[in-house]
Amino acid sequence: MPNRPHTPLKSLLARGLLALPLAASLFAMAPAARAEEKLDSTRLISIGGDLTEIIYALGEDKHLIARDTTSLFPEQALKLPDVGYMRALSPENILAMNPTAIVAVEGSGPPEALTVLRSASVPFETVPNAYTRDGILAKIDKVGTLLGVEAKASELHRQVANDLDAAIADAAKHPEGERKRVLFILSLQGGKVMASGTGTAADGIIKLAGSVNAVGTFPGYKPLTDEAIIEAKPDVILMMNRGDGAGTKNEDLLKQPALALTPAAKNNAIIRMDGLHLLGFGPRTASAVRELTTAIYGG
């Protein structure tokens, strides 16, 4: 078998050393290219009340041409065209606005609508959502990056983080043994209580307010049996306050036999808050934590 030419060690080192600067330059270029990528926000549509609030808080609302039905704050947002509910989007309605970019919070849908939007020529970006302190800050950072206003986002991040930390620390002053059990009721469907388990915005805000989800043993929302309600022993019932007067009134709520047996019903401890403020997990969440904590434990 013929001997292969011997490659001197010096030659191998030289090749390796020559390759290093090339690899390093390519590595350095990749993050820079990603950092330069941002949306053309000339005509921007925002899907999700939290994202719309962030865009306004960043001072970038001048680019907004439309919003979804959940984008109710600030009041100026109501002047924008409404392209529909975030979980029942119509691609035709959205694309008819001739946007240059669309940002949607995670959980928007339905999936087939998102597929159409993603296949259109308009850039479509989804912003991750988590019902935690860090989740709020991550949304601010993501929106800032997408709109190319990282400096503004960094300042808003700092302000919101400080506000949240103060509100959460204040809520945590109540000893663990004194923390109230809170039952969040989304609705009454066919006489059944539709309640919030884990992994929901309601579960997240209850925990930030230094309290315990009375039914935190299952994920998502589900109807409760009478036995489950009685066993939960909620000290407080929490609901969204509907401004249209169509929500379940307190007296009707307490006519539900199982609810009537709870400590919350006996003490008439029913709290109602604005839905977007309570569950939005945007820049105002620290305010929601303070309001809920005060309503549960007193000021």
66, 137: one domain: yes
- In this structure, the answer to whether residues 152 and 192 fall within a common structural domain is no
The residue to which tokens 């041409």 are assigned:
65
The stretch 140-153 carries a mean pLDDT of 98
- Does the pLDDT value for residue 111 go beyond 70? yes
pLDDT at site 246: 53
CATH number of residue 91's parent domain: 3.40.50.1980
Q: Is residue 157 part of a domain?
A: yes
Q: Summarize the confidence of residues 116-140 as an average pLDDT.
A: 97
- pLDDT one-digit tens code per residue, 258-272: 999 999 999 999 999
Domain boundaries, position 69:
41-170
Mean pLDDT for 128-139 is 98
- Please determine, for residue 190, whether its predicted confidence score (pLDDT) is greater than 50: yes
Answer yes or no: do 246 and 293 share one domain. yes
Last-in-domain residue among 137, 170, 203 = 170
- In this model, does residue 96 exceed pLDDT 70? yes
Q: Are residues 46 and 166 in the same domain?
A: yes
Q: Residue 18: pLDDT above 90?
A: no
Residues 6+ apart with CB under 8 A from 47: 67, 68, 83, 86, 89, 102, 103, 104, 105, 108
CB atoms within 10 A of CB 131: 20
User: Which of residues 170, 198, 226 is at a domain's end?
Assistant: 170
Q: Is residue 141 located within the same domain as residue 163?
A: yes
Regarding whether 205 and 86 lie in a shared domain, the answer is no
- Averaged pLDDT, 245-265: 84
143 shares its domain with 86: yes
As a whole-number percent, the residues of the chain with pLDDT over 90 amount to: 78
Identify the residue with better confidence: 171 or 175: 171
ω into residue 74 within 30 of 0, thus cis? yes
pTM beyond 0.95 = no
Domain match, 147 and 197 both: no
Query: Does residue 2 sit within a domain?
Result: no
pLDDT of residue 280: 96
- What is the model's pLDDT at position 105? 97
Burial (CB < 10 A; 0-12, 13-18, 19+), residue 15, is: exposed
Helices (H), 209-245: 226-232
Asked, for residue 20, whether it belongs to a domain, the answer is: no
| pLDDT surpasses 90 at 36 | no
Structural domains of the chain, count? 2
Whether 222 and 235 share a structural domain: yes
For the cut 90, the answer to whether the pLDDT of residue 125 exceeds it is yes
